Amino acid sequence: MPLRANADIVADPATLFAQMKAAYDKGQQHGWHYIDQVYYLSSIFNAGRAYSLQHPDDPNYAVVAQLTVDVATGLHYNPLTNHDAVPWYVHEAAAYVVAHGGATEVQKAQNLLERANAETTPVTIARLADEDAAANLRDFGLDKDVLLSQVEAEWRGFVLTKDSSWRTLAFAHAAQSYFPVEQLPTTFGNDFIDAARNAAAGVDGYGPGDVVNAKKIMAHLKSVAPLRLIGTVNAQSHAGLMSTLAPADEYFGRMGMSVIGMRNELHRINQYLDAGYGDRESNAGVLLAEAVDDLHRVYPRDRDLPSLLLATYQTLQRMRSQEAQKSAQVMRSILTIEYQDTQQARQLLSS
């Protein structure tokens, strides 16, 4: 991974810590349903990210790191189905617990490290995501959000790896009579339904089992179509979540680049590559990737981020040095795992 750089974050860690405790109280009141735990874990991630970036020496840093490991383990966290864009922080918190925890906590942390590190290995992360979704089914039963998460894990595994066996599993699980097809989110649900519609219509590329299950899905969907429209009309798309902007006067990475500076550096590097500079621009490309990664850590919902990730990846791919290729893989992994529903990720995954 690119070296961690220093950048400011607007959120106050103490405020986020209070929000984390409020999420805990809410979960207590509701009886800790699966979705309550997801919300609580998200609040832990927010607090942990803020302490990491601003006050890593604060005693609460260690508290939140340990809490991250405990709750993420209990919820079977996986980067492929989590939407908080925090594998870097999960890695950091888990590494902290490995260095400071007891034997049981260290084992939990090592399992989380395996998942955070799998972000750069599509086949591995798809397998782990399916295992984690199955574990949540064992723990929470036929909770509707857990059922949706299992199909999401398998569908995203297919999109990421192009291995149709994951799509087959997703169809099989979504064809069950108890699956809440009307609550498929707009993030991946529309693509999933389009694939089921094609399979049911006999389009090439689907197996006999896929066709049978797809017909069940479409029949179920037809019976609840109005409900699905009501259930998803207010669902935010991933692109809709990308609604913040990093301040123009905030700077990222070791070279202190603003978002405009990153755009200018991309233009400059590509001009030099066009002129035949090749790997002589490798170090500049790596420093640019650090700045983009830093932006991603501090402002994970910045709307310019997906385009910067894609453009930086494409630029680094023009160089053959080991350092440039390693940074390119980081840019690709962040984009295709953490922002898979954006136009830029779709473009990259379909190429």
Taking only the tens place, the pLDDT of each residue in 239-248 is 445 667 888 8
- With a pLDDT cut of 70, the percent of the chain lying above it is 92
> Cα-Cα-Cα-Cα dihedral of 234, 350, 76, 213, to 10°?
80
Phi-psi region of 127 (alpha: psi -120 to 50; beta: other; left: phi over 0): alpha
Rounded CA-CA distance 211/216 in Å is 9
Bridge partners, residue 244, by sequence:
302
pLDDT tens digits for range 21-47? 899 999 999 889 999 999 999 999 999
The per-residue pLDDT for range 276-323, each reduced to its tens digit, is 999 999 999 999 999 999 999 999 999 999 999 999 999 999 999 999
Burial class from Cβ neighbours inside 10 Å (0-12, 13-18, 19+) for residue 142 reads: exposed
**DSSP output for 199-230:** HHTT-TT--HHHHHHHHHHHHHHHHHHHHHHH
Question: Helices 305-316 and 322-333: crossing angle, nearest 10°?
Answer: 150
Question: What single DSSP character describes residue 336?
Answer: I
Strand blocks (E) in the chain: none
Would you say residue 172 has pLDDT above 80?
A: yes
257 forms bridges with which residues in the sheet?
A: 252
User: Could you tell me which residues come within 8 angstroms of residue 274 by beta carbon, excluding any fewer than 6 positions away?
Assistant: none
Tokens matching residue 163: 């291995």
Instruction: Report the CATH fold assignment for 242-350.
Output: 1.25.40
Residue scoring higher pLDDT (92 or 31): 92
